[in-house]
Chain A
Amino acid sequence: AQSVTQLGSHVSVSEGALVLLRCNYSSSVPPYLFWYVQYPNQGLQLLLKYTSAATLVKGINGFEAEFKKSETSFHLTKPSAHMSDAAEYFCAVRGAGGTSYGKLTFGQGTILTVHP
């Protein structure tokens, strides 16, 4: 079984400030981890994914995330926030094998607000 916990349902930052969105996972099998972004009334867009290669993963729009097995974490960061980053962000996990292979389990989401 797998689960994801996103710490903080709302995060507010100033434009140009560091963005840090937290995600902790639980998985009985080696996990594949993902961050998706969702703009209002839109579907989900993949930002980045971890699939057991490099632990530091770079994604689109300047985002990156680091897989830390000892902390069971996969936090999302961006050095400098832009107004266009305002959206809801979801962390997700799926198994690299076993019966959970393929389907994603999502966290509850973190709404990012960026102030001018």
Chain B
Amino acid sequence: DTGVSQDPRHKITKRGQNVTFRCDPISEHNRLYWYRQTLGQGPEFLTYFQNEAQLEKSRLLSDRFSAERPKGSFSTLEIQRTEQGDSAMYLCASSFWEVGGTEAFFGQGTRLTVV
């Protein structure tokens, strides 16, 4: 297994456009998390899934943001009508959530620049 994979690694978009990011977790992991990291800050939790169920959403996740994990495998994060304030690194992580399970492994992130 090559770890958590995120695509694309970099995205530049014009304000007002929609963007979609993909995350492929480690294959046996049942939990998937999205975090956002702005320059000079630590990652901030956005949302997480257990299998295909979205169990929690941060208030940071405005109505313009939507995340899915349709078959409990890969996940997508869509941002509609992007704003300059959306410019950040979007990190995906996965873990195996059982007794004796693993902690979160992070992907390399998708860096979004809104111009």
* A→B interface (CB under 8 Å): 4, 9, 34, 36, 41-46, 49, 90, 92, 102-109
The 6 closest A-B pairs by CB, nearest first: A106-B42, A43-B106, A44-B106, A43-B108, A103-B45, A106-B43
* B→A interface (CB under 8 Å): 4, 6, 31, 33, 35, 40-45, 48, 56, 91, 93, 95, 97, 103-109, 111
A43 and B97 contact, CB distance less than 8 A: no
B33 and A46 contact, CB distance less than 8 A: no
Contact of B56 among A103, A105, A107, A109 (CB under 8 A): A103
B107 and A43 contact, CB distance less than 8 A: yes
Known: A34-B103, A102-B48, A104-B104. A44 touches B97 (CB 8 A): no
A102 and B103 contact, CB distance less than 8 A: no
Q: Measured between alpha carbons, how far is A49 from B45 in the docked complex, in Å?
A: 19
How many whole Å from B11's CB to the nearest CB in chain A? 14
Known: A43-B91, A43-B109, A102-B97. A107 touches B42 (CB 8 A): yes
How many whole Å from A89's CB to the nearest CB in chain B? 10
B31 and A109 contact, CB distance less than 8 A: no
How many whole Å from A70's CB to the nearest CB in chain B? 25
A90 and B42 contact, CB distance less than 8 A: yes
Residues in chain B near residue A9, CB distance under 8 A = 40
How many whole Å from B40's CB to the nearest CB in chain A? 7
Interchain Cβ contacts under 8 Å between A and B, 21 examples:
A41-B109, A43-B91, A44-B43, A44-B93, A44-B106, A45-B106, A46-B105, A49-B103, A90-B42, A90-B43, A102-B48, A103-B33, A103-B45, A104-B33, A104-B45, A104-B104, A106-B42, A108-B40, A108-B41, A108-B42, A109-B41
